[in-house]
Chain A
Amino acid sequence: MIAPTEHAVVDLEEVSKVYPSEPPVAALRGVGLRILRGELVGIVGPSGSGKTTLLQIMGTLDRATSGTVRIEGTDVSRLGDGELAALRAQRLGFVFQQFHLAEHQTALDNVADGLLYAGVPLEERRERAAKALAAVGLADREGFRPNKLSGGQRQRVAIARALVGKPALVLADEPTGNLDSAAGRAVLELLEHLHEGGATIVVITHDRELAARLPRRVEVLDGQVVSDECA
């Protein structure tokens, strides 16, 4: 499947990442991966396979040691800290296994913080956060603090935060890892639903069963892509 580059949200060419420890650890070795607009992709692999490093490089949280990383056609190695931050603020959304919600803030303000660094005024941040919360089915939990929410609800708040800025790409790192199977299934269904609405989503997981439900699966082992199959 060869797609024109301008439709690629993420385009990795020969990406390697070596951590300068003693001895140096090669977390990624020559990874090539292209993700198109509107895809829902699972990146599967056991722990230590390099999948989290892959996510962080796609999310510009880390820089590749060699190779080219393009986000929507832009080579990120040429961007400075300010430009990378702007890219993350406006084009990328993150969902983490540990949710990373601010405990002292309401669900609404947690979601609104997704727009904090995108230069959106507070009133508008809250309005858009309310819509995003409604989209994940938590309209009635706006005023709740995270410690009053279940794990599944917290992850849905985090997903709303990732989506509130309408990013080009949502990167989810083990989004169901801290949830029981029912809540995990609900979160996955939410991601599928959002995908149907047009969002581009990459889900990292070590759970093959979960990955089996996704339309495209990329399998990573020892820092290399070993298979890339579409359902």
Chain B
Amino acid sequence: MSALDLLRVASGGLRTRRLRAALSALGIAIGVASIVAVLGLSSSSQAGLLAAIDRLGTNLLTVSSGQSLAGDRAELPLSAMRMVERVDAVERVAGTASIDDVGAYRNPFIPAAATSGLIVQAATLDLPEVIGTEVARGEYLNAATAREPVAVLGATAAARLGIDRVHEGGRIWVADQWFYVAGILEEATLADEVDASVLVGFPAARRYLGYAGLTAAGRRTDGPPTTIYLRAETGSVEEVQALLARTANPEAPSEVDVSQPSDALTARAEAESALNGLFLGLGAIALLVGAVGVANIMIISVLERRAEIGLRRALGATRAQIRAQFLLEAVILAAVGGGAGVLTGILATTIYAAARDWSVVIPPEAWAGGIFAALAIGALSGMAPAIRAAGVSPSEALRSV
């Protein structure tokens, strides 16, 4: 009996019971589909994030005030931005200063404790260009509005304040006075601390929020930045990074934190989310249930088809041929389910990724693993029924009907 004959016989057994075969393959299909979709979606979203990081550039560096040796919050010197700008390979520099103990509210009646997690920050005029974000509505601060009680909202800050558009007279309550809202920013992928910020100009922060510094000569001036954002020349990012701490705060370089946000994001993109594990676990459970379904259907099949088994033995089938027939039937059943599952998983990933503008990435271990798992399940769950079928005595099988 050739392999082709065996395949024909095994698939014939399924073709005569199409509905039942389809239903028992469905369990396997659901399990495989969910596993492929979870792996596909997480890979696609990772690819999407990496593409976004690439688009935004990997040459953004940040310098922020860390902690002093005593554990207090350290301050950057007033001259830090000017010093950083002088480094050779630095292209553009922007800065922000987070202003403690000042909240931003929709109106004067909101209790001061209800800050919604917003921070008020002074920001320089080229911040959006440096961190790679756009103005969604209205406009950003300019030399004139930076001196006035005018604010620009980060994407999250706008949502939390319930402001979705910019209109004349739109204002928020900051430090016991009204600030007019000039614009709203898009999400800043590389600097998400800006998203929850209410940004005002440095001069406005000095005049209205009391954020100021003293020069060596004792003159009141704009306060020091707490974070400096800078773009380095693409080839020199590492060299610049090595110089930054000493440049920004020559007296206490150890109190300065230097980081490359794209690095952190890439690392985060590559870390698997805990949710993935959960969904993969659910997929595995669905697979297990599917396997039980296949085993169940095969056992019933052996009971029902005793006459067929008896006839085949009378026609000259060996026990091994009967065993192979039923085992192959279970494997085909599971493989059909697995194949359908892989296609469904790929389809789901494609639809979701298209909606998000991600490129579709199906890791080979997802689809190959799905098919392999299905085949293994078919073989495992078909084993016991196949052995049972081979053990059916032909005389009893033919006598019982």
Q: Which residues of A contact B (CB under 8 A)?
A: 52-53, 56, 59, 61-62, 81-82, 85-90, 92, 94, 96, 98, 100, 102-105, 113-114, 116-119, 121-122, 161
Contact = CB atoms under 8 A, between A and B. Distances in A.
Nearest to B316: A89
A117 B12 contact: no
B318 A81 contact: yes
A110 to B, nearest CB: 10
State the main secondary structure of chain A at its contact with B: helix
Nearest to A100: B311
Most chain A beta carbons < 10 A, residue from B9, B12, B15, B314: B314
Contacts, number: 80
A105 B11 CA distance: 13
Contact of A117 (B4, B15, B308, B315): B315
A67 B16 CA distance: 42
A105 B12 contact: yes
A20 B87 CA distance: 99
A28 to B, nearest CB: 13
A62 B315 CA distance: 14
B398 A86 contact: no
Most chain A beta carbons < 10 A, residue from B2, B15, B393, B398: B398
Contacts of B5: 116, 122
Contacts of B312: 117
A88 B307 contact: no
A123 to B, nearest CB: 12
Given A98-B307, A121-B2, A114 B315 contact: yes
B316 to A, nearest CB: 2
Interface string B362-401: 0000000000000000000000000000000111001101
B319 interface: yes
B315 A113 contact: yes
A25 to B, nearest CB: 13
B308 A88 contact: no
Given A52-B399, A88-B316, A122-B4, 15 more contacts: A61-B394, A85-B317, A85-B319, A87-B316, A88-B315, A92-B316, A94-B314, A100-B311, A104-B15, A104-B16, A116-B316, A116-B317, A117-B315, A117-B317, A122-B5
A51 B313 CA distance: 20
15 contacts: A56-B395, A61-B313, A62-B394, A81-B320, A85-B319, A88-B314, A89-B315, A90-B316, A98-B401, A102-B16, A102-B308, A116-B9, A116-B317, A117-B315, A117-B321
Contacts of A61: 310, 313-314, 394-395, 398
A23 to B, nearest CB: 19
Nearest to B312: A117
A105 B401 CA distance: 20
A116 B398 contact: no
Nearest to B399: A52
Interface in B299-351: 307-308, 310-321
B316 A59 contact: no
Most chain B beta carbons < 10 A, residue from A53, A105, A117, A122: A117
A42 to B, nearest CB: 20
Contact of B316 (A56, A86, A100, A104): A86
Contacts of A113: 315
The 9 closest A-B pairs by CB, nearest first: A89-B316, A117-B316, A62-B395, A85-B318, A88-B316, A104-B16, A61-B394, A56-B395, A100-B311
B22 to A, nearest CB: 16
Nearest to A173: B398
B16 A85 contact: no
Contacts of B316: 85-90, 92, 116-118
Contacts of A94: 311, 314-315
Most chain B beta carbons < 10 A, residue from A96, A118, A121: A96
Nearest to A82: B318
A138 B15 CA distance: 26
A62 B12 CA distance: 28
B1 interface: yes
Contacts of B393: 62
A75 B307 CA distance: 27
Nearest to B8: A122
B398 A88 contact: no
Contacts of A96: 311, 398
Contacts of B314: 59, 61, 88, 92, 94
A119 B321 CA distance: 12
Nearest to A62: B395
B102 to A, nearest CB: 81
B398 to A, nearest CB: 7
A119 B1 contact: yes
Nearest to B6: A116
Contacts of A116: 1, 5, 9, 315-317
A103 B16 contact: yes
A81 B394 CA distance: 12
A118 B395 CA distance: 20
A52 B312 CA distance: 18
B295 to A, nearest CB: 24
Contacts of A105: 12
